[in-house]
Structure 1
Amino acid sequence: MFNLWYKNAVVYCVDVETFQDSDGDGIGDFKGLTSRLDHIEALGATCIWLLPFYPSPNRDNGYDVADYYNVDPRYGTLGDFVEFAHAAHERGLRVLVDLVVNHSSIEHPWFQASRAGDPKYRDWYVWRKTKPEDAEKGVIFPGVQKTTWTRDTKRKEYYFHRFYEHQADLNIANPQVREEIERIMGFWLALGVSGFRMDAVPFMLEDLSSAHSGWEPHRYLSQLQTFLSWRRSEAILLAEANIPMEEAPDYFGTGDRLHVIFNFPLNQKMFLAFARGEAGPVADFVKALPDIPQTAQWATFLRNHDEIDLGRLEDGEREEVFAAFGPEEDMQLYDRGLRRRLAPMLGGDERRLAMAFSVMLALPGMPVLWYGDEIGMGEDLSLSERHAVRTPMQWRGTLPNGGFSDAAPKDCVRPVVADGPFGYRHINAERQMLEIDSLFCRVRNLIRARRGAAEIGWGKPEVVDVGDPAVLALRTGWQDGEVLTVHNMADRPALARLPDGLDLSDVRPLLSSGARIDGEERTLRLDAYGFEWFRLKGK
C-alpha cells in the first residue's frame, strides 16, 4: 500500500542561504544546514522543505532558476546536498525540494537558445509577435511588475512572464518541456528526496487549456503523479495553489493528482479570526471544507516565505487584518498582503503566539512551519518586498550576526535582525532551548501532541458550539480515537460549555496548560489566549 506519511507529517521550511553559514562568506550553505539538523529534529519536525537552491542570478530568492540539475556554488556542491540528505534521513527527516517549472530565469541556456531561434528550444517558452492588449492585466506583483509580456530585442518577439520580466514562462503545452520536467524530477528523486513543493501550479496549467482543444489541463497533474509513483512510490507533490475550495476536486482528482495543497483560504480566515479575537471565521470555514480523497491532504500554515496573501478576503475583512497586523504602509505589499513575521504581528505575546501555533496544528492538514517562527523572530522592513521576512536565522545572542555567520555584517547575504525586542540578543535558539517556558519549548510540545493525535491528520473535524464566540472547539475522530481541541482567541478569560452529546466519561489531557473540565457543569475555563487538547477516546 502507498505510504501516506504526509497525512501526519510536520514540515519545517528552510532557506539554505539564510540558515547557517559554514565557511564565513556570509551566505548559508548545505554544510551549515547539515550542522543544524539537530535543531529541526529537536523541534519535532518530520520533514524539511528547501526553498530553491539551484544555480540562479538570484533576482527572486532563487526562484529564477538557471540550472535545474545542480546546486548554486554559493551553497556548496551536489555532494554537499547528498551529504545533507543522508544526514536528514539518519534523523528520520524527509526532504522536499522546490520544483520551479512554471518559469525559468531568462539567463537559463534554454531561454537564450529559444531567443536565438534554436530549432530545439524555439517553442520552449511562450512567444508572440505582437503584444497582447491585456498585457497589463493579471500581474502578480502590483506596484512592482508593470506587464506580463516583454519584447526581446534579439528574437524581436514578446515573451510571456506571469511573474517578473526576468522569469520567462516555460511552454508547458510543449511535450518536450513536459518530458524535461520529468527528467528534473527523476534526477532529484534519485538523490533521495521524498517529493516536491510545486511552485505556482495554477499558472503552470494556464496554457494547456488553449493548446489542447477539449483537453482538461488538470489531467497533466495525473501524469506527474503517475511518473512520480513509478520512480518513488512514497514521493509526494505539495502544491502552491491559491484556489477557492470549489476548485479542489480539479486539483486532487480522485487522489490521482496532487497529494497535498496549501490551504491559502484557511490561512486568511485564521488571520481574520486573530484580528477579531473571534473563532467564527475559522469555524465557518472548517464547517464548509469539501470532502477530499482519503489519500489527499491540505497543508496548513501561519507564515511562509512570501507575503501573507489576503486577496480572498472581502475588502472590509482585509482592512480589519491590515489595521490589526499591518497598519503602516511599508508593512503591506502588492495591495493584498502583509510582509511581516508572525511574532511582531502578534505583539510578541508568547501566549498568543502559542495559541496561534496550537490552532494551526489542530486544524485538518499537514502543518508547515517557516524557519525562525518557532523562536519568535521578527522582520526587517528596511528590506525590499518579501525579503523582510527572509533574514538570517538567529542562533546565539553572544555571537556576531547571531551565530549565523563569522563574516562581517556587511558581507552577510542579508542583515541579521539586531535591534529592538526581536533582535538576536533577545531572540535566539540557544536561549529558547534552555528556557522551559520559551516559545520554542511550547511549539515543540505542541508538535509532540500533534504527532500523537493521528485523528487530526486523518479525520474530518466537527466544530463544537461551546457558547462563547471567542472559542474554537474542534472534535476530530478517526478509527477508535477522538480528540477535542479548545482555543480561546480573545485577550480575556473564556468559559466553554461542552454540549451534552459529548462523552466526558474518560477525558484525558493530551496537551494541557492546567485547565480542567468541570464534569458536573460540563464547562472549561480558559485563560486569555488559553488552549487545551484532550483525548476523549482511544489509547
Structure 2
Amino acid sequence: MEKKWWKESVVYQIYPRSFKDSNGDGIGDIKGITSKLDYLKELGVDVVWLSPVYKSPNDDNGYDISDYQDIMDEFGTMEDWEEMLAEMHKRGIKLIMDLVVNHSSDEHKWFVESRKSKDNPYRDYYIWRPGKDGKEPNNWESAFSGSVWKYDEATEEYFLHIFSKKQPDLNWENPKVREEVYNMMTWWLDKGIDGFRMDVINFISKVEGLPSAPNPEGKPYVSGHEYFMNGPRIHEFLQEMNKEVLSKYDILTVGEMPGVTPEQGALYTGEERHELNMVFTFEHMDLDSGPGGKWDLRPWKLTDLKKTLSKWQTELEGKGWNSLYWNNHDQPRVVSRFGNDSKYRAESAKMLATCLHMMQGTPYIYQGEELGMTNVKFETIDEYKDIETLNMYKEKVGSGEREPEDVMVSIYTKGRDNARTPVQWDDSENAGFTTGTPWIKVNPNYKDINAKKALEDENSIFYYYKKLIQLRKQHEIIVYGKYDLLLPDSEEIYAYTRTFNSEKLLVVTNFTSETLQFELQDDITYTTAQYITGNYPEENRDLRKLTLKPYEALVYKLS
C-alpha cells in the first residue's frame, strides 16, 4: 500500500455561515475563519475542507453557485480568502475547497444564456427537454421534493434539476462544459489550494434518454436515482478530469457519492485507476431510515452499524481508501444520534470518536463535533432555515399525510439544521458567534457546551480529539493497519483489531449506558499490552476480561 500524506491527515470541515462572524451581520464569514485558525492549530488538524464560499443567491446555502471564481458578498472578498489561505499555510494547515459541478445556480451566466433560446451557444450546457403529453419529460422526484423538471416559458421546454429548481443540472455530455469545469479547477489549484471535496460527483453522468422510473404504486413522482447515480460515463469523466487536472498536483480529492457500494468505491479510489483518492459513502447514515426514506424514522442497531462500516473497511483493504466521518453539514449531530447527549454526553462523544478514528481511512471532523455539540429542538417550523426540511414539512403536513407534531420529531432527529446552528465559542450572548442577530438560532445549551470551557478543561472532548489526532501521527498501525471485526453479533460492544507487521491494535467500545464484560478471543495471542488511550482515567486491568464502564472506549497495542 502506497503511503500518502492525505492518508495520514485529519480533515476539519468548516460550514462558513455558522463558524464565526467577524462583522456583526449574523453570518459567519472568511475573516471569522481566519480569526480562529489558532484554535484549529491547537486541535492539530492537517486539512480544512471549506463548504462553498462562492458567489451564490443562496437558495441552498451556497451549493447553488452563480460564479465559480468569485466570493459570496456575505462571506467577504477574494482578498479575505487569499489572506485566509496564506494564514492556513503559515500554520501548516492545507485547504480543500468544495467543488459543486453537478449543477450550478440558475443565476449563473451560462444558465442565463442557456434559457434565452433553443439555439443559444450555451443551450446545451444544461439538460433541456420538451414535455410529454402536456406533462414533465419523466417521473423522477427531486431530492428536495416534487418533480426534477421545471417548465421555462421563454423556450417552452423543461430543464432538469435533481436538487432545487434554482439548481439546474449541468450537461456533462457536452465537452465544452467539461472543459469549462477543468479550467476553473485549474484556476483554484494554481491559487494554491490543496484539493477538492466534490459534491454529489457520481450524479454527473445520466443514462441516455432519461427514462421514467418504474412506478408500481402510481405516485406522481418517484426516485430515478438508478438513472443518474454512478451513470454510464462516470468513470470516463473522472479519469478525464484526473488526466486534465488532478494528476498535475499533489492534492486530496474526495467524492461525495450517495448510493455507492464498496465494490464501486474500489473503482473510484483504486490508485491504478486514476480517479479520486477517496469517497464519502452514506450507508451508515441511512441505518435509522425506514422504507419511506430519511424522514421515516426507525431505531438503528449496532450490528447493522458494524456490518456496514466493516464491509467498507475490509472490501477497500488494499484496493482503495476510506473516508471516515460521523457528521457533516447535512447530518444530525452524532452524539445525539449514536451516542447519549444527556448524562453521558462527554463519554459517548469520546467513545464515538475513538471508534471511528482508529479505523483505516482519513478521518473528517465537522465543526463543533470536537466540542460534543448536540442536535437542537426549535419550537416552531418557522425557526428552521433548511430548504429540504421546509419543503418536506410543507409537503407532508399540507397533504395531510402526517401530523405536524409527528413531522417535527423527524426534523429534531434528522434535520440538516441540527448541524448548522452556530459554533458555540463561549458562554456570552449568541455563544460568541456574532455580536448581531445570528442567521439561525444558537443551540440554547451553549452556556454549558462551548469552546472556551472545553479549552479550560484538560479532560474535555476537545483535548480527547487532539490526542486522537496526535496518536495517528505516532502510530503507523492506526493509518495503515488491516481491520478485523470482533464480536459481530453483539448489540452492545463494537470491538476490532488492526494489524500492521508484527503489531496489533485492540479497540473496544461500549455503545450502551450499562457496565459490560468483554472477553478477549482465544485466537489473539500477545506478550505485552501497551495502553494507548481511553475515555476514562487509565487503570491497570486484565485484558483477558475487561469490565467496560458506560460508553467506555479502550485502545491497546499488543505485541
TM-score interval, smaller chain: 0.7 to 0.9
* Distance (whole Å) between structure 1 residues aligned to residue 309 and residue 16 of structure 2: 34
Decide whether the 8 Å contact of 2:96 with 2:193 is kept in 1. Answer: yes
TM-score, scaled to structure 2: 0.81
* Number of residues of Structure 1 aligned to a counterpart in Structure 2: 487
Residue 375 (structure 2) pairs with residue 352 (structure 1): no
* Distance (whole Å) between structure 2 residues aligned to residue 297 and residue 172 of structure 1: 26
**Residue of structure 2 equivalent to 1:395:** 425
Q: Secondary structure at the match of 1:288?
A: helix
**Residue of structure 2 equivalent to 1:72:** 72
* Distance (whole Å) between structure 2 residues aligned to residue 41 and residue 54 of structure 1: 25
Decide whether the 8 Å contact of 1:515 with 1:526 is kept in 2. Answer: no
Q: Secondary structure at the match of 1:112?
A: helix
* Distance (whole Å) between structure 2 residues aligned to residue 442 and residue 166 of structure 1: 42
**Residue of structure 1 equivalent to 2:143:** 140
Residue 449 (structure 2) pairs with residue 415 (structure 1): no
Offset of residue 391 of structure 1: 1.6
Residues 449-478 of structure 1, C-alpha deviations (whole Å, 9 max, x = no match): 344333233233011249965222211122
Offset of residue 286 of structure 1: 4.5
Deviates more, 1:444-453 or 1:295-304: 444-453
Offset of residue 169 of structure 1: 0.4
Decide whether the 8 Å contact of 2:288 with 2:299 is kept in 1. Answer: no
Q: Secondary structure at the match of 1:159?
A: strand
- Aligned CA distance change for structure 1 residues 185 and 96 (closer, same or farther; 3 Å): same
Decide whether the 8 Å contact of 2:37 with 2:88 is kept in 1. Answer: yes
- Aligned CA distance change for structure 1 residues 433 and 81 (closer, same or farther; 3 Å): same
**Match of residue 237, structure 1, among 242, 250, 253:** 253
Q: Secondary structure at the match of 2:435?
A: coil
Structure 1 residue runs of 4 or more that deviate by more than 6 Å after TM superposition:
208-211, 275-278
**Residue of structure 2 equivalent to 1:297:** 321
**Residue of structure 2 equivalent to 1:528:** 550
**Residue of structure 1 equivalent to 2:129:** 128
Offset of residue 425 of structure 1: 1.8
**Residue of structure 1 equivalent to 2:241:** 224
Decide whether the 8 Å contact of 2:207 with 2:232 is kept in 1. Answer: no
- Aligned CA distance change for structure 1 residues 277 and 103 (closer, same or farther; 3 Å): closer
Residues 128-173 of structure 1, C-alpha deviations (whole Å, 9 max, x = no match): 12257564433212xxx21101111122211000111110000011
Residue 364 (structure 2) pairs with residue 368 (structure 1): yes
- Aligned CA distance change for structure 1 residues 67 and 216 (closer, same or farther; 3 Å): closer
Offset of residue 67 of structure 1: 0.2
- Aligned CA distance change for structure 1 residues 472 and 230 (closer, same or farther; 3 Å): closer
Letter paired with 1:415: K
Decide whether the 8 Å contact of 2:481 with 2:500 is kept in 1. Answer: yes
- Aligned CA distance change for structure 1 residues 221 and 277 (closer, same or farther; 3 Å): closer
* Distance (whole Å) between structure 2 residues aligned to residue 75 and residue 218 of structure 1: 34
* Distance (whole Å) between structure 1 residues aligned to residue 442 and residue 120 of structure 2: 47
- Aligned CA distance change for structure 1 residues 139 and 373 (closer, same or farther; 3 Å): same
**Residue of structure 1 equivalent to 2:305:** 282
Q: Which runs of 5+ in 2 are unaligned?
A: 211-226, 291-297, 390-415
Offset of residue 255 of structure 1: 4.1
**Residue of structure 2 equivalent to 1:311:** none
* Distance (whole Å) between structure 2 residues aligned to residue 528 and residue 396 of structure 1: 28
Decide whether the 8 Å contact of 2:266 with 2:320 is kept in 1. Answer: no
Q: Secondary structure at the match of 2:6?
A: helix
Q: Secondary structure at the match of 1:168?
A: coil
Offset of residue 362 of structure 1: 2.1
| Structure 1 residues 481-492: aligned runs within 5 Å | 481-492=503-514
**Match of residue 475, structure 1, among 487, 490, 497:** 497
Offset of residue 191 of structure 1: 1.4
Decide whether the 8 Å contact of 1:277 with 1:490 is kept in 2. Answer: no
Offset of residue 280 of structure 1: 2.3
Q: Secondary structure at the match of 1:297?
A: coil
Offset of residue 526 of structure 1: 1.3
Residue 120 (structure 2) pairs with residue 119 (structure 1): yes
**Match of residue 404, structure 1, among 433, 437, 440:** 433
* Distance (whole Å) between structure 2 residues aligned to residue 209 and residue 157 of structure 1: 16
Decide whether the 8 Å contact of 1:172 with 1:207 is kept in 2. Answer: no
TM-score, scaled to structure 1: 0.84
Residue 57 (structure 2) pairs with residue 61 (structure 1): no
Percent identical: 31
Letter paired with 2:425: W
- Aligned CA distance change for structure 1 residues 38 and 207 (closer, same or farther; 3 Å): farther
Offset of residue 393 of structure 1: 1.3
Deviates more, 1:46-55 or 1:363-372: 363-372
What is the RMSD computed on CA atoms of the aligned residues? Answer: 2.7
Q: Which runs of 5+ in 1 are unaligned?
A: 308-339
Decide whether the 8 Å contact of 2:492 with 2:510 is kept in 1. Answer: yes
- Aligned CA distance change for structure 1 residues 246 and 356 (closer, same or farther; 3 Å): same
Residues 29-86 of structure 1, C-alpha deviations (whole Å, 9 max, x = no match): 2111011011112222111111100010001010010000011122111121111111
Offset of residue 178 of structure 1: 0.3
| Structure 1 residues 19-418: aligned runs within 5 Å | 19-117=19-117, 119-131=120-132, 135-141=138-144, 145-207=145-207, 216-232=233-249, 234-242=250-258, 243-253=260-270, 254-268=272-286, 279-289=302-312, 291-292=315-316, 294=318, 296-307=320-331, 340-345=332-337, 346-348=340-342, 349-378=345-374, 379=376, 381=378, 382-384=383-385, 385=389, 386-398=416-428, 400-407=429-436, 409=437, 412-417=438-443
* Distance (whole Å) between structure 1 residues aligned to residue 311 and residue 372 of structure 2: 32
Offset of residue 250 of structure 1: 3.7
- Aligned CA distance change for structure 1 residues 138 and 252 (closer, same or farther; 3 Å): farther
Deviates more, 1:522-531 or 1:346-355: 346-355
Decide whether the 8 Å contact of 1:515 with 1:525 is kept in 2. Answer: no
* Distance (whole Å) between structure 2 residues aligned to residue 271 and residue 135 of structure 1: 26
Deviates more, 1:154-163 or 1:58-67: 154-163
Deviates more, 1:237-246 or 1:252-261: 252-261
Residues 284-342 of structure 1, C-alpha deviations (whole Å, 9 max, x = no match): 334433533747321111111114xxxxxxxxxxxxxxxxxxxxxxxxxxxxxxxx433
- Aligned CA distance change for structure 1 residues 3 and 504 (closer, same or farther; 3 Å): closer
* Distance (whole Å) between structure 1 residues aligned to residue 127 and residue 319 of structure 2: 34
Deviates more, 1:452-461 or 1:296-305: 452-461
* Distance (whole Å) between structure 1 residues aligned to residue 197 and residue 499 of structure 2: 29
- Aligned CA distance change for structure 1 residues 116 and 276 (closer, same or farther; 3 Å): closer
* Distance (whole Å) between structure 2 residues aligned to residue 51 and residue 159 of structure 1: 26
Residues 203-222 of structure 1, C-alpha deviations (whole Å, 9 max, x = no match): 112257989xx974322111
Q: Secondary structure at the match of 2:39?
A: helix
* Distance (whole Å) between structure 2 residues aligned to residue 294 and residue 244 of structure 1: 16
| Structure 1 residues 506-521: aligned runs within 5 Å | 506-512=528-534, 513=536, 514-518=538-542
Letter paired with 1:138: E
**Residue of structure 2 equivalent to 1:317:** none
* Distance (whole Å) between structure 1 residues aligned to residue 555 and residue 288 of structure 2: 19
- Aligned CA distance change for structure 1 residues 270 and 295 (closer, same or farther; 3 Å): farther
* Distance (whole Å) between structure 2 residues aligned to residue 160 and residue 98 of structure 1: 22
